[in-house]
Amino acid sequence: MDRIGGRVRTVPFGDGVVEVGAEWIHGIRNSSTYRTAMQHNITIIPQDPTFKVYRSDGTETDDELLLNDLVNFCFVMVGQKHINFVGGLGEFITRRLLLYVKAKYPYLIKDTGFLPEFVGLMNAYISVHEASNDWNEVNALSEYEDLKGHQHMSWHRYGYKTLFELMLNTYNNGSGLPNLDIKLNTEVTQIIWPEDGADVRVICADGSTYTSRHVIVTVSLGVLKDRYTTLFKPGLPWKKIEAIEKTSIGAVDKIIFKFDKAWWRGQETYYGFMWKAEDKIKLPIEDYWMTKVFGASRPRGSSNTLSLWTSGEMGKLLEQMPEDILKRKCMELLRKFMGKCYDIPEPTGMIRSTWHSNPFTRGSYSYDNRLTTQNANDRRFLAEPLVDTHGVPRVLFAGEATDSHHFSTVHGAVDSGYREAMRLMNNRVF
């Protein structure tokens, strides 16, 4: 592409910056991204996920403390190991949620409207968190592990781009790294790795060729799925092909609006959209995607922007929708849920992410699907290098999907790159 950063993309917007891709540092203990910020005295701000929830008839929910308690309970369940439970993450959370509600809020059990509506909201919210189409596509026995500490640390006005400026020594007018030569706008079409020990050749779409003893491939799982049959010569071993095909990568998409000034009130970071069953039924089929927009968040990098979130097939749909229609429909959605409480003006700008349709990303991040327990070694196979006849690693693989326990995160991606660099250093192959 024409920039560094991959699925991190900070854009000036509103009165500051917004994150079109990755937005938070997830956990601080043993986090390479958090450590890098701290080493350079960059202030990172915790952004607690607090909710104010609106219904599809435009009314606010009554008890914010109850709702935030239930949201936090469900989110805690996402990060736990669900031993001896076979099934989808949503099934597990719903069962635990009902037990929790019976014990703490027994009067809600008789409310035949609230709980289904709330479960629908959490499905949309956690599907975005996981990059899935539905929370039951995610394995309740996922190998993902949280780092300790706050899970939503924001780069706020600095922007996530600062991580790359720090690594490249360009932050605050730094001089850069003199021995580093980054080729932007240079699409790789083939990687030829002779098994006899000759140099690896990297062929590019513009006709240029680069040779090296070793190559580290950091493209997303989505790009590997698209191109593995033509990108590597000789072809990949079958166990790596199976890992590529069986591991899942999903789409998470944002539609970000800026306004002349903030029209919302309060300190909440999220405005959740909870659909009433009768309002869902009334929706035209072409507008069903609206039910998969779980709500809006307030970016910390600017004060006059709102981000709407969706995922899965609905996210892919919105990437292709004509911009004028998307803008109009999203504003209809905002006004449907929040219009009785606020006078919502027209936005002065809109940005949308296109992570799935972008041929150089083809998705947002990976997740453990329902087959994960049957293919527990897939991420290890994704990370295995291609070696020559002498056992020397020649083509190495990094990226968030290759990290067995911290996939889907920036720190997982960064650590995987370090892992492969150390693989070469430890093999003393230079």
pLDDT digits (tens, 9 = 90+) for 335-369: 999 999 999 999 999 999 999 999 999 999 999 99
Q: Mind listing the pLDDT tens digit for each residue in 128-172?
A: 999 999 999 999 988 899 999 999 999 999 999 999 999 999 999
User: Last residue of some domain: 354, 389, 414?
Assistant: 354
CATH code at position 294: 3.50.50.60
- How far separated are the first and last CA of the chain, in Å rounded? 29
Average pLDDT over residues 79-91: 82
Return the residue matching tokens 């958090």: 34
Q: Of how many residues is the chain composed?
A: 430
Note whether 83 and 168 are same-domain residues. Answer: yes
In tens, the pLDDT along 239-267 reads 999 999 999 999 999 999 999 999 999 88
Q: Mean of the pLDDT values across residues 7-15? A: 98
Please name which of 419, 415, 312 lies closest in space to residue 365, comparing C-alpha atoms: 312
**Long-range contacts: 281-286, Cβ < 8 Å, 24+?**
none
Residue 325 has what pLDDT?
A: 97
Task: Band the pLDDT of 430: cuts 50, 70, 90.
Answer: low
Same domain, 40 and 63: yes
Q: How many CB atoms lie within 10 A of CB 320?
A: 10
Q: Catalogue the E-assigned strands of 41-159.
A: 45-46, 51-55, 153-154
Please check the confidence at residue 83 and state whether its pLDDT lies above 90. no
Looking at the structure, do residues 148 and 99 belong to the same domain, yes or no?
yes
* Nearest residue to 138 (alpha-carbon basis) of 312, 16, 292, 298: 312
Mark which of 354, 370, 385 sits at the end of a domain: 354
| Percent of the chain residues topping a pLDDT of 90 | 89
Nearest to 221 by CA among 204, 239, 191, 241: 241
Joined together, the tokens standing for residue 365 give 């991040």
- What pLDDT sits at residue 112? 82
Computed over every residue of the chain, the mean pLDDT equals 94
Domain match, 205 and 272 both: no
Q: Is the pLDDT of residue 429 over 60?
A: no
What does pTM read for this prediction?
0.95
Both 137 and 35 in one domain: the answer is yes
Q: Are residues 25 and 117 in the same domain?
A: yes
Together in a domain, 386 and 243: yes
Whether residue 169 sits in one domain with residue 57? yes
Distance CA 74, CA 294 (A): 15
Domain match, 95 and 201 both: no
Kindly state the average pLDDT of the residues 269-295.
Answer: 95
Residues 256, 181 within the same domain: yes
Domain hosting 28: range is 1-185+252-354
Confidence label for 373 from pLDDT (cuts 50, 70 and 90) = low
User: How many domains does the chain divide into?
Assistant: 2
Regarding whether 313 and 418 lie in a shared domain, the answer is no
Boundary residue ending a domain (354, 375, 396): 354
Residues 76 and 167 in one domain: yes
